[in-house]
Structure 1
């Protein structure tokens, strides 16, 4: 089976194409990106493609595919929501419509925990039936929520097409650290500051807790959704739930309680001055995200994360310290300039390991 992956050079994409290339059910992996990378992965072929409404015709690239995995997403510029809407919403609509026109039988789409409406007042994990109204104050959550509504209509119009919606928690791996620092924190978070024992304290905001997942574990779920005759939505998250106290233990520092209002005001001012790329609305959304149950993915996809959430975060923090990355335009390392220039480099396994050197099974 031929599988086409959009957004194949980012955090999720680099893990997904590697996982698919190793799947004996997959005969060809075609990775699409606006800029063809120098990164080489055995079994993966590359093509330049832009999903924007006036971008590259996608039909010829989708021809003969057994599945399309749609991961492409533009996080920036947060100061221009029209531009991100054009790519993320209108571009995604084009991907689905052209996949249907090309006769592709299955599309696996990267939705997000950010598509969900605020969670219940008590921390009861929600399943895939929880409303996907998003949070209106952030472009990211508005876009993810809108696409859930679009897909409701698309599925009704194309009942013979298998549509899978993946709703992962925050995805981390060592080699994604530089990309994610640039997207969400900007230059105000130098990687060297996250060395254990160096930070004097971490600010703890009321209600701040989140779920995380190693990106390679998410890739396993995507591969299963390509291979198995499943439909619908799947939550993806590892245990345990993380909070600032857990991060403080990883960084060997203490926690200082910080009132939400001044913290939000400071973030909002920094964003308006273009000092940080993430707006305050994204923080508002983060504080309201529900906790997710991954029971359906475990049952229907026979999926179980190999890494605990803390191991994924530990790998990410190590990547921040080392300026880790990959030789793709989005994933270029901060302090490893050669990582963007080496042509034939396969992505190594992240080093989130137990003391015995093996990944830990969770759940």
Structure 2
């Protein structure tokens, strides 16, 4: 098949390319990204197209790229700069609009959209929900609001076009990790002045004892996408590993001592430090971690015959091992994290949370 993947050089995109470009796959893969990677390793057997989905004519440019393609997998999303939420919305919601419009105009056979557990409303923290739970997001999280808005666009598209429209699949995974993404994840999560190697050496873990979140390895997310493509399976699918991750699990994998700090106090500290530009994560991410439900993945098991191969603990250990190794890839989003580079960009382009582009 001819498959177009937006955001193909990111965390999930890299894992998906490992499957779609395998020697026996037979697929022609076109990667649509803002910053094409050097064609090496897993990125070598991909036709790269440079396109910023936040641009004013993204839909028209994408329409040309999608001409004659069988499947489009929409993974592109923005996580920084957290203070420029207008840009992040243009990437996430505006980019999804561009993909849907272009896919419809090109009469693409199948659209797969990367949603998230963050699309779900609060109300069942620590308990499982299936795909019928309201996908209206967490109001205090810009990321969650945009994920919910993107799904609302898909709802509207399906109402307007019904069976005459492009068939749509929505993947709703928990928090996604893998070793190869360690540098990329830490670039967006750690202050530039904190070395990655400090993370595995943390002696204590100050977190609320109530923490229970769904986690999943990127390889298992990629497998779900491949199975949905092969089966032409549509609709929403929850994706998460077992068991749900709690505070003590995180402390055990880190080898740190867990200390109870109420989420409200943690939220206030995160907010103050973010506003003081001491660290790059806004409070919305913490609010989401203590609001989103756990995931019932029975539908993925039934319709896709999908079962995660990585446990949540193994997935967390994999990415933390990557942090200790400063793991990275040839992709710009997943490149090696360099404190020198971050300091240079902070001085020349502005802080990560405020600069025009991440």
- The normalised TM-score by structure 2 is 0.89
Matched, 1:4 2:4: yes
Question: What residue number does 2:352 align with?
Answer: none
CA-atom RMSD in angstroms: 1.8
**In the comparison of the two structures, how many residue pairs are matched?**
334
Structure 1 residue 218 displacement after superposition: 0.5
Give the whole-Å Cα distance in 2 for the aligned partners of 1:293 and 1:327: 35
Structure 1 residue 335 displacement after superposition: 5.8
Aligned with 2:115 (options 98, 111, 116): 111
Over 3 Å counting, the alpha-carbon distance change for 1:316 and 1:267 in structure 2 is same
Structure 1 residue 208 displacement after superposition: 1.6
CA contact (8 A) 1:324 1:335 kept: no
- The normalised TM-score by structure 1 is 0.88
Question: What residue number does 1:28 align with?
Answer: 28
Question: What residue number does 2:63 align with?
Answer: 59
Q: Deviations over 1:224-278 (max 9, x none)?
A: 1112121100000010111121111112221111133332221111111222111
Give the whole-Å Cα distance in 1 for the aligned partners of 2:319 and 2:20: 23
Over 3 Å counting, the alpha-carbon distance change for 1:137 and 1:131 in structure 2 is same
Question: What residue number does 2:152 align with?
Answer: 149
Matched, 1:193 2:202: no
Q: Secondary structure of 1:330's partner?
A: coil
Give the whole-Å Cα distance in 2 for the aligned partners of 1:188 and 1:244: 26
Question: What residue number does 1:88 align with?
Answer: 92
Structure 1 residue 39 displacement after superposition: 4.1
Give the whole-Å Cα distance in 1 for the aligned partners of 2:25 and 2:317: 32
Question: What residue number does 1:183 align with?
Answer: 188
Q: Deviations over 1:83-119 (max 9, x none)?
A: 1111111111011101110110110000000000014
Give the whole-Å Cα distance in 1 for the aligned partners of 2:223 and 2:339: 28
Over 3 Å counting, the alpha-carbon distance change for 1:190 and 1:156 in structure 2 is same
Q: Which structure 1 residue ranges, 4+ long, deviate > 3 Å from structure 2?
A: 23-26
CA contact (8 A) 1:69 1:107 kept: yes
Matched, 1:254 2:257: yes
Give the whole-Å Cα distance in 1 for the aligned partners of 2:306 and 2:279: 36
Structure 1 residue 142 displacement after superposition: 0.4
Q: Secondary structure of 1:3's partner?
A: strand
Q: Deviations over 1:293-351 (max 9, x none)?
A: 111111101111111111111110011111111011100012699xxxxxxxxxxxxxx
Consecutive unaligned residues of structure 1, counting only runs of 5 or more, are 338-363
